[in-house]
Amino acid sequence: MNSALNIEYRVNAPLDLDAMIDLYRSSTLGDRRPVGERDRMRRMRDEANLCITAWDAAKLVGIARTMTDFSYVAYLSDLAVDLDYQRRGIGRMLIEETRAALEPKCMIVLLAAPQAVDYYPNVGFARHESAWILRPQQDA
């Protein structure tokens, strides 16, 4: 398999929905995302205003999906790398490419999956103790 040096990073490139869903499943992010709801996944893909993808030739191997104003704050809602490609710096590069697309003073915030809590300090994130979540209504 290729090293991270052979990975191509693309900004807001066209993204096949099935390839995106496959990546979410192969990265384990699919355990926490509505991969069985195609219309919802399509909206997630289409409504994010910054999407950095990582490619090994024609294979989608990583994604950083963000909602942002590009100036003050960016919410990095999904960071996923195919399990076969993890530990090669792809996640770190997806974050760096996201930063590069933002103004220098723009901060990036995210909610870490329990399995990734120890990852984010290693790539420069600081823990913030006052984040809050308003969960969706049960009947929604």
The reply to whether 40 falls in a domain is yes
Which residue has 């693309």 as its token pair? 10
Total-model pTM: 0.89
The beta-strand segments (E) located in the chain are 8-11, 50-56, 59-68, 73-81, 107-109
**pLDDT per position as a tens digit, 36-93:** 999 999 999 999 999 999 999 999 999 999 999 999 999 999 999 999 999 999 999 9
State the pLDDT confidence band at 139, using cuts at 50, 70 and 90. Answer: low
In the chain, the number of structural domains is: 1
Residue 47 domain flag: yes
CATH code for the domain of 58: 3.40.630.30
Asked if residues 85 and 62 have their Cβ atoms less than 8 Å apart, the reply is yes
Q: Is residue 65 part of a domain?
A: yes
Query: pLDDT tens, 18-30?
Result: 999 999 999 988 8
* Residue 135 counted as domain residue: no
21 in a structural domain: yes
What range does the domain containing 59 cover?
4-123
How far apart (Å, rounded) are the C-alpha atoms in residues 106 and 129? 20
